[in-house]
Structure 1
């Protein structure tokens, strides 16, 4: 914990007026107010502290990692909920054991930091929350899974990016994440920001550059996932600026629930040859961009709802859903794009957490028998 404590002191020095001249740390309450930082632009950008870099003598190149990641699964609606347990059952180590046993090669752990971070400088993350995130990451790494850790819903930043206090708070979050996890396995991957809807392309380009510089300050070879803006369809990935074209540890990312009226709302059918060609075109375009730019690609969210959770009477046909998922998997393999099934413990799930059993989707996603 010494490095985390040292970073706390460093952040306090950066925000000396907030911590007080005595150097005492601002108290982080157990339940941080669900508010964004005050609407002010009086703060100056955070200076990235000078620290010793962690040198990995056997780093994983992004192209190697993506080739090995195959099909993965999201631990959705868990740490990305306002508080764990509110949207889905809280995480258990057994889930990660079962993910590995089923044949998944990676897991994405979405995390929404907002409710667990102070709203005043130096924007300290609750120590109990950081411990919990680390515990779940360690469970996954112990299963020898690739692990994607991100900043997920963070609407306070996305909806008011011009506020310098918001930028500083987000920078402080990533400074603390990188400090806590800097010595972890190189199979731990950082994803900068999930679906920055509300941000312009120039804003997400700026934030991608900034967060990458924070990560590289400690981990020069840590794998990093970035995306474009909005809900990150393939077009936004193609249009986004590459944060560093010479960085061999960068992975570009998009999401695909195409077409949403089928995959999310259950309002139309799916499965014609034209449907499959339209989906394949998305993967083709991503692959062409990847080959041109020398940057591997992931689609770290794809899936098909069992029903529209906003209109539960709209139910998707099981056979069409399975054919849709099968097509995603086939195209991801064909075009060398790692893909992560969105499992939220509810409408988009295949793993029944309460019973530790799998639905029929799992056999389509990975080549493994159903688990009892």
Structure 2
């Protein structure tokens, strides 16, 4: 159960979010936009609270994927059952392929690796959960064997390989229903944290278009399944703003889907302010309206900033019928520096989940399996025990908040 202190903090955050709920534009959408939002709001509601199986199927040693390479044990049905029992309705499974992909022109993925991916997907899918799978580490320059590099010179080869990978993955899962969502890639960018550049952004748009066209043509339920695509580095400003992101066309989808209904979702990640959420330092350990020590609290990235960022996604995509998925969010454990830190981590998780709900977006918490200092873990992956019940309770409360003020 959540401690009394955490409950008070969550109430304070809820009040702050409610005060921000009267946002111009949210209650003045046209009736046409209301129609196009119907399928988007339904899929988000059905997904519920989400959880990432991080540092498992995207882990690797020297470019060879191995789910135990980064210190986590092999994934089991018992772990997934515990995640579901905690209240999560969606599991995102990051996947790397790397050196399991054979040479061109066939680019055949190792069958044993594909079979293991399917087995882990089935752990969740067969428990009536939503499952998201992607191409994850193949686009990181720092990973051995990476190849999905948007500023590399060999784009013709990269795009042919990318298409073949998705042909194989989509074909394997063609008979799975709408609870399986395919995500084109992860945090794709040059590796430099400045503004987007060309031709890299154009290549990212090309990858997304190849993904949509390839999956749609792969047979079975792929013609109608939900597909998830990111912009530059899953960054909200560089996706919602005027920086070059293009929503893929969807001309090969099942003709039975109504013309005013989308089947493409937009992916972003949220770790702001990084000083609190991700920086491995004991300097900033508090966040939000309930913070008591200004010296431990970042001066930016508070509730008002969070609200404004997710409103950008609402205004650009949700009103047009494109669901938004915050595919990663969370904050690392700094309780070794400040015993109150986990309470603020719960505040943060609640605020992201509740604000996303308010703006019609789904959320998927990032769990890397690590507990203790700098870990994101909510569960012990060896014993399956819950390690951060307060954060889980906050997530469930945020997702179940009804998005106070949402249109």
Q: Per the alignment, do residues 243 and 260 of structure 1 end up closer, same or farther by CA in structure 2, a change over 3 Å counting?
A: same
Alignment of 1:1-372 (within 5 A): 61-82=39-60, 83-87=66-70, 88-155=72-139, 156-158=147-149, 160-163=151-154, 164-198=156-190, 200-218=200-218, 219-230=222-233, 232-239=234-241, 240-244=245-249, 248-265=262-279, 266=281, 267-268=283-284, 269-272=286-289, 275-307=302-334, 317-346=341-370, 347-358=375-386, 359-360=388-389, 361-366=391-396
The alpha-carbon deviation at position 161 of structure 1 amounts to 4.0
Shift of 1:276: 1.2
Aligned to 1:5: none
| Residue pair 2:41, 2:360 contacting (<8 A) in 1 also | no
Report the number of matched residues: 305
Structure 1 gaps, min length 5: 1-59
1:62 Cα offset (Å): 4.5
- CA deviation vs aligned residue, 1:309-348 (integer Å, no higher than 9, x gap): xxx9899922221111111121122222100000010111
Greater than 3 Å deviation, 4+ residue runs? 60-63, 159-162, 312-316
SS in 2 for 1:351: coil
Distance 1:234 1:315, change over 3 A: farther
Q: CA deviation at 1:107?
A: 0.5
TM-score, scaled to structure 1: 0.76
The residue matched to 1:171 in structure 2 has which SS?
Answer: helix
Give how far 1:236 is off: 2.3
What SS does the corresponding residue of 2:269 show, helix, strand or coil? strand
Find the aligned partners of 1:119 and 1:351 in 2 and give their Cα distance.
38
Tell me, yes or no, if the aligned pair for 1:137 and 1:147 is still in contact at 8 Å: yes
Q: Give the Cα separation in 1 of the matches to 2:169 and 2:104.
A: 18
> What is the CA-CA distance between 1:271 and the residue it aligns to?
1.5
In structure 2, relative to structure 1, the CA distance for the partners of 1:208 and 1:161 (3 Å cut) is farther
Q: Match for residue 403 of structure 2?
A: none
Unaligned runs of 5+ in 2: 1-37, 61-65, 140-146, 191-198, 251-258, 291-299, 399-407
- 1:89 and 1:345 in contact (8 A); partners too: no
By how many angstroms is 1:121 displaced?
2.9
Against the structure 1 CA distance between its residues 333 and 291, is the aligned structure 2 distance closer, same or farther, given a 3 Å change threshold? Answer: closer
Structure 1: distance between partners of 2:163 and 2:151: 15
- Paired position in structure 1 for 2:15: none
Q: Residue 189 of structure 1: CA displacement?
A: 0.4
Q: What is the CA–CA distance in structure 2 between the aligned matches of 1:224 and 1:340, rounded to whole Å? A: 16
Cα distance change on mapping 1:316 and 1:165 into 2, 3 Å: farther
1:298–1:337 Cα contact (<8 Å) kept = yes
Q: Is the 8 A contact 1:102 1:366 kept in 2?
A: no
How far does residue 294 in structure 1 lie from its aligned partner after superposition? 2.2
Separation in structure 1 between the aligned mates of residue 320 and residue 175 of structure 2, nearest angstrom = 29
CA distance in 2 between counterparts of 1:93 and 1:213 reads 33
Contact 1:96/1:139 (8 A) holds in 2: yes
Secondary structure of 1:278 counterpart: helix
Q: Deviations over 1:201-220 (max 9, x none)?
A: 21111111111100111221
> For structure 1, which segment, 198-207 or 83-92, has the greater mean C-alpha deviation from structure 2 after superposition?
198-207
Per-residue CA distance 1:117-149 (angstroms, 9 max, x = gap): 114431110000000000011111111011101
- Paired with 2:381 and 2:363, the residues of 1 have a C-alpha distance of 21
Q: CA RMSD in A?
A: 2.4
Q: CA deviation at 1:159?
A: 5.4
- Structure-2-length-normalised TM-score: 0.70
Q: Distance in 1 between matches of 2:361 and 2:215?
A: 24
**Deviation digits for residues 149-174 of structure 1 (CA, Å, limit 9, x no counterpart):** 10001132125543122222221110
Contact 2:94 2:135 in 1 (8 A): yes
